[in-house]
Copies of this chain bind each other. A is one copy, B any other.
Amino acid sequence: MTPKETLLREVLDRIADKWTLLVIEELQLDTPTRFSVLQRKVGGVSQKMLTKTLRQLERDGLVTRTVHAEVPPRVEYRLTRLGNSLGEAVCGLWVWVEKHLNTVARARQGFDGRA
């Protein structure tokens, strides 16, 4: 693989991740969102996993993390412009899943019935 391909794989690997996609989806409303609110909205994600996901998104330049000097400190996450553009690209995937959910469910039933 060329260095570009390696990086392509790596970035794809990061993005093609359930929690990453769900966090981006939630943040796309473009309101700064607190950790606890995000955790509630992205149901089923552990605190550890959400922390890891947000940190990776921040590292990739997709999310900003702002600490407000309050007591207790308020930390908010927001998509960057780059993150927003990714959100739009991911949107097609969501639309597909929504649209073909039942077809996939039927395919599974058929497969499991034959197996």
Scan A59-74; emit 1 where CB is below 8 A from any B CB, else 0: 1111000000000000
Q: How far is the CB of A88 from chain B (nearest CB, A)?
A: 8
Task: Pick the contact of A18: B16, B89, B93, B107 (CB < 8 A).
Answer: B16
Q: B residues within 8 A CB of A18?
A: 9, 12-13, 16
Nearest B residue to A19, CB-CB: B16
Give the residues in chain B near A101, CB-CB below 8 Å: 4, 7-8, 11
Bound-state Cα–Cα, A7 to B7, Å: 32
Minimum Cβ distance to chain B for residue A105 (Å): 6
Chain B's closest residue to A4 (CB) is B101
What B residues does A75 contact at CB under 8 A?
none
Of the residues B21, B82, B100, contact of A16 by C-beta under 8 Å = B21
Cβ of A2 to closest chain B Cβ, rounded Å = 11
Say whether, besides A18-B16, A21-B12, A82 and B107 are in contact (CB < 8 Å). Answer: yes
Which residues in B have their C-beta under 8 angstroms from that of A38? none
**Distance from A61 Cβ to chain B, minimum over Cβ atoms (Å):** 3
